[in-house]
Amino acid sequence: MMTVRVLLFASYADAIGAPEVALDLPAGARVRDVLSRIKTMAAGKRIPDKPMVAVNQRYASDDQPVGASDEVAIIPPVAGG
């Protein structure tokens, strides 16, 4: 197991009730595993399906591995007008 720091923004922070969480994940976890855990923690609250994700301040795909010292940021889509 490893602990990953996850930063949450806007609707994700609102759904979880905190701007940051520490997740315990198995070794070999990927971004998609982080997203799955956050969706479970949101417990049915409405959050965007496809957020942007950054690992260590670089945009990441769902398949990117995460490590124990990584910082994962979950950023909901932004609409402008």
The whole-number pLDDT of residue 81 equals 54
Of 43, 60, 57, 53, nearest to 76 by C-alpha is 53
Q: Regarding predicted confidence, which is higher, 79 or 57?
A: 57
Over residues 15-56, the pLDDT tens digits come to 999 999 999 999 999 999 999 999 999 988 989 888 999 999
Q: Which residue has the tokens 């979950």?
A: 74
The answer on pLDDT for 65 being more than 80 is: yes
Nearby residues of 17 by Cβ (< 8 Å), 6 or more positions away:
none
CA gap 64, 16 in Å, rounded: 23
- In DSSP notation, 5-46 reads EEEE-THHHHHHTSSEEEEEE-TT-BHHHHHHHHHHHTTT--
